[in-house]
Amino acid sequence: MKTIIEPFRIKMVEPIRLNTPVVRDQILRNAHYNPFLIPAESVLIDLLTDSGTSAMSSEQWAGMLRGDESYAGAKSWFRFESVMRDITGMSHILPTHQGRASERILFELLGGPGKFVPNNTHFDTTRANVEHSGATAVDLVIDAGRNPKGRHPFKGNMDPSKLQGFIADVGAENIPLCMVTVTNNSGGGQPVSLANLREIRRICDAHGIKLYLDACRFAENAYLIKMREPGQQDRTVKEIVRDMFDLADGATISAKKDGLVNIGGVLLMRDDVLAERANNLLILTEGFVTYGGLAGRDLEAMAQGFQEVLDEDYLHYRIRSVEYLGEGLIKAGVPIIEPPGGHAIYIDAGSFLPHIPAEQFPGQALLVALYRHAGIRAVEIGSVMFGRKDPTTGETIRPPMELVRLAIPRRVYTQSHIDYVIEAMTELATTKEQIRGLKIVEAPQVLRHFTAKFAEV
Ligand code: F0G
């Protein structure tokens, strides 16, 4: 069969509302041209993020009712712990309310002034948490990962020679840990190969540096390894996932992605001494070690979700539907990061809108146009999210690409929704010269994309 169907049927529906471009124009003005400030009710198809937006399964909802809400040692905690240990093999499993809470604890322990943390590409909250600790975050993705067109199968890979050069430059004693983000969200949702993880591990070992995964999308990464890495085709995704974690000393995970839940996170580590310190911080701001800022029912939903995400029929459908969107956009002449990665399609807004210079935020301009035209909400991953002033020179630092991410929530939209998105972008492509740039009117110091206000130029 050519058609890869959604491997589930729909038991509950949530209406979405159509409105008109005129109404949406007013909504955009009220939201200061920032998609984070648009009320969700006014969005037809919401591709802002794949985070916390999954539809839960009937088994997850059943788990919600079974949730044991005991303060300490709840049954739901033991179930969650045993599932996570089985999948990852890690000795210490700390529940947190979401990924950035895991990051905050980790970098409070290992970061600090004078320290450096390399990553393939830091996600925004990861970078912000590294920097908040006083440390410096550095991105060392392979050059192919910054070229939107080349079809390298593992554009998320970290560059081993860049890592070696970096260690030589700043000194291994100043690098408490190296992180690898799977899949590489800020670099296009691109996977990292097992071979690359092994190589990075070898380099870290040679210098006594710990290796941590930012493993939010570990199952999608493993499935892409199965599809693309020589010799992995006959292995199960579960085996590949285990290989990935076996190469790491620990991991931060936002369960809002491959955990298939609406809230939750995990911090994993092997080091007993570090884990004790992490548990103390967990108790300080998240909660006791057997619930960590979550309800027992959340732990049940996570335990079930982390198992369901390893279902290869699900992953086949998941990866294929993202690829299908990518193929539709390429056919319409919309430049995207190729090949499509795990959870989203990234439009190369800089090339799509050559008439809008980087200082007028082509990515933000495109997502404003897409919302006005079709009620679709997306997010900018470019100069709005990552552009900032160099603290010493005062010059504006820009990211290598101006991207718009269409992130696909898990198990939420059907193929006809995706067809609608393709149609909307195809129409926009014919009138793209009319899209106008934007300027920032007001913005906070950190993570400005969430609340910045814009005006059209
Ligand atoms: N790391 C990566 C790679 C992420 O993509 C995210 C979140 C986080 C860490 C933080 O997790 O939100 O649970 O605190 N990414 C979302 C996104 C927000 O839209 O890509 P969190």
Mutate to test the pocket of ligand 1, among 36, 46, 47, 51 (most ligand atoms within 8 A of CB): 51
- Residue 63's pLDDT is what? 97
Among the listed ranges 156-165, 270-279, 341-350, 447-456, which one has the minimum average pLDDT value? 447-456
Q: Is the pLDDT of residue 392 over 90?
A: no
What are the pLDDT digits (tens) for 231-261? 999 999 999 999 999 999 999 999 999 999 9
Q: Which tens digits make up the pLDDT trace of 81-107?
A: 999 999 999 999 999 999 999 999 999
Which residue type, as a one-letter code, is found at position 125?
Answer: T
Question: If we measure between CA atoms, which residue out of 339, 437, 301, 452 comes closest to residue 388?
Answer: 452
pLDDT at 186 over 90: no
Interval between CA 78 and ligand 1 midpoint (Å)? 25
For residue 135, what pLDDT is reported? 98
CA angle 303, 125, 225 (to 5 degrees): 55
49 CA: nearest ligand 1 atom: 19
**The CATH homologous superfamily of the domain defined by 21-50+311-456:** Aspartate Aminotransferase, domain 1 (3.90.1150.10)
Please tell me the predicted confidence (pLDDT) of residue 249: 98
CA of 99 to the centre of ligand 1 (A): 6
Residue with tokens 């029929």: 313
H/E stretch holding 253: strand 250-254
Give the DSSP H or E segment for 78. Answer: helix 75-88
DSSP string, 388-408: EE-TTT-PEE--S--EEEEE-
User: 93 pairs with which residues across the strands?
Assistant: 268
Model pLDDT for residues 311-361, shown as the tens digit of each residue: 999 999 999 999 999 999 999 999 999 999 999 999 999 999 999 999 999
In the CATH hierarchy, which top-level class contains the domain 58-308?
alpha beta
Q: Which atom of ligand 1 is nearest to the CA of 255?
A: 13
Mean per-residue pLDDT, 144-149:
90
* Domain parsing of the chain, residue ranges: 21-50+311-456, 58-308
- CA separation for the pair 443, 107 (Å, rounded): 26
Can you give the pLDDT at residue 390? 79
Q: What integer is the mean pLDDT of 38-49? A: 97
Percent of the chain with pLDDT over 90: 91
H or E segment and range at residue 426: helix 415-430
Q: How far is the CA of 433 from the centre of ligand 1 (A)?
A: 33
Instruction: State the pLDDT at residue 199.
Output: 98
Report the atom number in ligand 1 closest to the C-alpha of 256. Answer: 13
Weakest-pLDDT range from 141-150, 173-182, 312-321, 387-396 = 387-396
Q: Which atom of ligand 1 is nearest to the CA of 48?
A: 19
Atom of ligand 1 nearest to the CA of 181: 3
3-class SS of residue 85:
helix
Ligand 1, atom 5: closest residue by C-alpha = 185
Residues in the chain: 457
Does 79 score more than 80 pLDDT?
A: yes
- What pLDDT shows up at residue 281? 98
Return mean pLDDT, the chain: 96
Confidence at residue 389, expressed as pLDDT on a 0 to 100 scale: 78
Checking if the pLDDT of 391 tops 80, the result is no
Dist. CA 214 → ligand 1 center (Å): 9
Lining residues, ligand 1, CB within 6 Å: 49, 51, 98-100, 123, 125-126, 181, 185, 214, 216, 254, 256, 265
pLDDT for residue 136:
97
